[in-house]
Amino acid sequence: MNNMRTDVLIVGQGICGTFLSWWLEQAGVSFIVIDEPRPFTASKAAAGLINPVTGRRIVTTWMIDELLPFAGEAYRQMGETLGMSCMTPTSLVDFFPTAQMRLAFLKRYEEDPSYLQLPADEHAWDDVFRYELGYGVISPCYLVNLPALLSVSRKRMLERGVLLEERFDREDLIVEGGLQLDGQGKRSTVGTSGMKEGRVRYRDISAGQVVFCDGIESFTNPYFSRLPFAPNKGEALVVEIPELSQAGKEDTGNGDARGRAGAVFKKGISLAPWKEGLYWVGASYEWAFDHGEPTEAFRKRTEALLQEWLKVPVRTVEHIASVRPATLERRPFVGFHPLHPAVGILNGMGTKGCSLAPYFAHQLVQSITKGIPIRPDADVRRFSGILSRN
C-alpha cells in the first residue's frame, strides 16, 4: 500500500479490532487494520462463552441485560455478512463442586430465578459425568464461534484490501503534538510539521485517528501504559471426547432441547464445544505468572480433573495459553486520550470480551461519528488525571 489515506487506523484484529472495524464499515467510515498473525492471542484462546451469571454468589454480570440483546443482534448481523453463524444459544450444566455451591444456587433460584433452571432429571448426565451433588442449569448462555469469526473476518478484510498482516511498530507512529519514546523509553512531546491538527501518520498511511485494539500490548504503550491494567493469564486444553460429541440432539432433561452435544459443562473448570467437534477445557485464572506460554503443571492438573469428572474416554489434542487484557476495576478502557484526541483505545475486556466488545466498539464509533459520549464508567477519560501527567 502506498500513501494511503484513511479515517481510522486500527491496531489489532482480536475481537475488539474486529468489532471496531465492523461498526466503522456500517457507519461508512474508512479504516485500515494492522494485525500481526500470532498463533495465540486472548481472542484465539477464548472459549467464546457468554455467561450471564458468575461467581460464588451467582450474581448477574455487569450490564448483562443491556449487553446480551445488543450482542445477539450484533453477532446476527455480522453472521449474515460473513455467511456463518457467529453466536449460538446454549445451556450451561453447572455441576455443584461443593455443598455450599449447591445451597448458593438454590438460594439464588428462590430469590431471583432469572437465567437459572432446575433440572427435571438429576440423572440426565449420569452416563457421561461423575457428580454427587447434583446440578443447576444456567440458561440462556451463548457461545461465540470465535475461531471462525476471526478467520472469516480476516479473510474478508484481506479481500477488501483493508488489512496489513504485519507488526505495528509504535516508533514509526507520528501523532500531531503526540508523544514519542526515546531510546530509554522516556516520553516527550513532538511537534509535527505540515500535518493537519489531530492527524496521524504511520509509514505510508495517513489517518484521522489511530485506535489501539492490541490487547496486552497496550500495557506498554506510552499513551496508555498508566491505565490500571491487570494482566491475567489463562490456559486451556483442547480435547477430544467422542462419546460426548456424538451424543446427538437428545433432550437434556431440562425441557431444553438444544442438544447434549451443544451444552457447556462446569465443575470447577468449564468444558465447552470448540471447533471441529472438539472441546475446550479451562481455564486457569492467574494474576502471577512468569510467561504467557502453556505449562506442564496446568496440563497435568487439568487432565487429572478430567479423569475424575468424566466417565468416558478423553484425549488431549492441543494446549493453549494467552494473557487476558484485564483491568484492576474490571471495567473496559474505551475512548480517546484526553491530551491526544487522535489516539484512542478499545481494550480492557478482561474475561468478557465476547459480550463487551460488540457494545463498546459501537459506543466508540458513535462517539467518532456523532460525538455521542461513551459511558463514563468505560470512557478512558475517567483517568484524565493520570493520563495527563508529565
Ligand X SMILES: Cc1cc2nc3c(=O)[nH]c(=O)nc-3n(C[C@H](O)[C@H](O)[C@H](O)COP(=O)(O)OP(=O)(O)OC[C@H]3O[C@@H](n4cnc5c(N)ncnc54)[C@H](O)[C@@H]3O)c2cc1C
16 binds ligand X (CB under 6 A): yes
- Of 20, 32, 46, 173, the one binding ligand X (CB under 6 A) is 46
- Of 79, 178, 208, 215, the one binding ligand X (CB under 6 A) is 215
CA angle 87, 89, 90 (to 5 degrees): 125
- Which C-beta is closer to ligand X: that of 124 or that of 298? 298
CA angle 53, 56, 61 (to 5 degrees): 25
> Which residue in 197, 201, 208 sits closest to 173, CA to CA?
201
- Of 107, 123, 167, 249, the one binding ligand X (CB under 6 A) is 167
d(CA 76, CA 96): 33
CA angle 95, 97, 271 (to 5 degrees): 50
- Enter the DSSP assignment of 129: B
d(CA 60, CA 233): 24
Selected range binding ligand X among 85-93, 174-182, 201-209, 343-351, rule: CB under 6 A: 343-351
Residue, CB closest to ligand X: 14
Amino acid identity of residue 18, one-letter, is T
Length of the chain: 390
d(CA 13, CA 41): 10
**Residue 30 CB contacts under 8 Å (≥ 6 apart), including other chains:** 6, 7, 8, 24
Least distance to ligand X, CB of residue 374, Å = 16
Least distance to ligand X, CB of residue 90, Å = 12
Among positions 261-300, residues that touch ligand X (CB under 6 A) are 282-283
354 binds ligand X (CB under 6 A): yes
149 binds ligand X (CB under 6 A): no
Amino acid identity of residue 251, one-letter, is D
- Which C-beta is closer to ligand X: that of 251 or that of 303? 303
Least distance to ligand X, CB of residue 356, Å = 7
Total binding residues toward ligand X, as defined by CB under 6 A: 40
Among positions 222-241, residues that touch ligand X (CB under 6 A) are 234, 236
- Which C-beta is closer to ligand X: that of 133 or that of 148? 148
Least distance to ligand X, CB of residue 99, Å = 27
Least distance to ligand X, CB of residue 329, Å = 15
Half-sphere exposure of residue 223: CA atoms within 13 angstroms, side-chain side = 29
d(CA 380, CA 390): 17
- Of 136, 178, 335, 350, the one binding ligand X (CB under 6 A) is 350
d(CA 327, CA 387): 16
Least distance to ligand X, CB of residue 150, Å = 8
Interface residues toward ligand X, by CB under 6 A: 11-17, 34-36, 38, 41-43, 45-49, 167-168, 213-215, 217, 234, 236, 282-283, 322, 324-325, 347, 349-355
